[in-house]
C-alpha cells in the first residue's frame, strides 16, 4: 500500500500564519456518532494529522455552542496533539439556543464585550493558550470598525489570538475593517464550489488576490451535495472522466482539486465526519488540474460555456 498523500502548507498572507492546504472543519462533529465522544474525535484528529491536515476550523456556535468543548476534551485526552495543530475559530453570531438563554433573536454582535467574552470562552473550551486565527463570522450591520479594530489589537497584544480575519465579508466590508487595523486581515472564509461559483464574479476573489490574502472556503463540496447524490447528466459524465484521469476517488476530491487550481490559493475546509474520506480528499492536493479540465468542469456545472 502506498503511503498517504501529505497535503502541502501555505501562508494565508505574507504576514499571516501558515496553515495546511486543507483544513478540517469541526462544524458537524457532534452530528456524527463516531465523533461525538472525545476518543472518536482523537481518531479523526490523528487521521487528519497523518495526512498533513494540521489546521482545524471552529466557531463558538458550532453544535449549539458545544463543539469547541468537545474538541477540547479530545485534546485533553492527548495533550501532545495541541502542539501539532493550528486553530481557527469565529465569533459574532448569536443563536437562539438553550445554551444562551439571553438570546431572544438570532443576531450578530461585534461589540468589544462580546468579542472578548467569546474568545475567552473559546480558549477555555478548547483548552488552548492562543487562537491562531480569529474570524468575524458574519458582517454585522452594527459593527463599529474602530471598536472592533481596537478589540482585535488588544487580543493580539495579550497573545490570546495570533491573527484576525473575516468570513462572508464583501469587498467594501473588508476595506472598512482593514482601514482601521494596524495589521492585515489574513483571510476571508467564503462559500465557493463548483456548485456555487458566484464569487468568481462578485469581485471578492479579485480583491483577495490583489491584497495577497488567501480565502478559506466553506462548503467546498456544495454542502455535501456532491457526496450525497453524485451529479447526473453532463456534470456527472465530466466528473467521472476527470476522476479517472486524475486518479481521484470521486466528485468530492475532484471538487477540491478544482478549487485548489484557483490563483488566489484557497484553503478549503473539509466538513466530512468520515475517517475514510480524509485520505480521498487529501489526494486532491497532489493534482495539478489542467486549465481546460477546470473550464470543462465549470461549463458542465453551469450548463453553459463561458461567454
Residue 173 makes contact with a copy of itself by CB under 8 A: yes
Residue 228 makes contact with a copy of itself by CB under 8 A: no
Do 162 and 119 meet the contact criterion of CB atoms below 8 Å apart?
A: no
Residue 241 makes contact with a copy of itself by CB under 8 A: no
Which residues are annotated as catalytic?
A: 62
Q: Which of residues 259-298 bind a copy of itself (CB under 8 A)?
A: 261-263, 291-292, 294-296, 298
By C-beta, is 31 or 172 nearer to a copy of itself?
A: 172
By C-beta, is 83 or 141 nearer to a copy of itself?
A: 141
By C-beta, is 42 or 239 nearer to a copy of itself?
A: 239
Cell of 298: 465549470
Q: Which of residues 178-217 bind a copy of itself (CB under 8 A)?
A: 179, 200-201, 203-207, 209-210
Among residues 6, 66, 111, 274, the one that binds a copy of itself under rule CB under 8 A: 111
Burial letters 109-133, b for 16+ CB under 10 A, else e: bbbeebbbebbebbbebbbbebbbb
> How many residues line the site for a copy of itself (CB under 8 A)?
44
Residue 170 makes contact with a copy of itself by CB under 8 A: yes
Q: How far is the CB of 197 from a copy of itself (least distance, A)?
A: 8
By C-beta, is 137 or 160 nearer to a copy of itself?
A: 137
Which range, of 142-150, 181-189, 243-251, 274-282, touches a copy of itself by CB under 8 A?
142-150
The residues binding a copy of itself (CB under 8 A) are 103-109, 111, 138, 141-145, 168, 170-173, 175-176, 179, 200-201, 203-207, 209-210, 261-263, 291-292, 294-296, 298-299, 305-307
Amino acid at each position: 500500500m502506498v503511503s498517504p498523500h501529505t497535503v502541502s502548507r501555505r501562508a494565508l498572507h505574507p504576514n499571516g500564519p501558515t496553515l495546511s492546504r486543507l483544513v478540517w472543519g469541526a462544524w458537524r462533529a457532534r452530528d456524527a456518532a463516531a465523533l461525538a465522544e472525545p476518543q472518536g474525535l482523537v481518531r479523526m484528529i490523528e487521521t487528519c494529522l497523518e495526512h498533513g491536515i494540521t489546521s482545524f476550523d471552529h466557531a463558538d456556535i458550532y453544535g449549539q455552542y458545544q463543539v469547541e468543548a468537545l474538541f477540547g476534551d479530545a485534546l485533553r485526552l492527548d495533550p501532545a496533539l495541541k502542539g501539532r495543530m493550528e486553530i481557527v475559530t469565529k465569533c459574532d453570531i448569536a443563536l437562539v439556543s438553550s445554551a444562551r438563554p439571553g438570546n431572544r433573536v438570532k443576531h450578530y454582535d461585534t461589540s468589544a464585550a462580546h468579542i472578548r467574552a467569546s474568545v475567552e470562552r473559546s480558549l477555555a473550551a478548547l483548552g488552548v493558550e492562543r487562537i491562531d486565527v480569529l474570524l468575524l463570522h458574519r458582517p454585522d450591520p452594527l459593527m463599529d470598525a474602530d471598536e472592533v479594530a481596537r478589540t482585535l489589537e488588544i487580543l493580539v497584544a495579550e497573545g490570546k489570538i495570533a491573527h484576525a480575519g473575516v468570513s462572508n465579508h464583501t469587498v467594501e466590508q473588508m476595506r472598512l475593517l482593514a482601514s482601521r487595523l494596524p495589521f492585515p486581515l489574513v483571510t476571508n472564509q467564503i462559500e465557493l464550489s463548483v456548485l456555487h461559483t458566484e464569487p468568481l464574479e462578485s469581485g471578492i476573489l479579485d480583491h483577495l488576490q490583489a491584497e495577497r490574502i488567501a480565502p478559506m472556503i466553506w462548503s467546498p463540496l456544495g454542502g455535501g451535495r456532491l457526496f450525497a447524490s453524485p451529479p447526473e447528466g453532463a456534470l456527472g459524465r465530466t466528473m467521472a472522466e476527470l476522476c479517472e484521469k486524475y486518479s481521484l476517488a470521486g466528485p468530492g476530491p475532484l471538487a477540491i482539486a478544482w478549487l485548489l487550481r484557483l490563483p488566489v490559493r484557497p484553503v478549503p475546509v473539509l466538513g466530512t465526519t468520515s475517517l475514510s474520506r480524509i485520505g480521498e480528499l487529501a489526494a486532491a492536493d497532489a493534482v495539478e488540474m489542467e486549465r481546460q479540465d477546470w473550464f470543462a468542469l465549470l461549463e458542465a456545472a453551469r450548463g453553459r460555456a463561458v461567454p
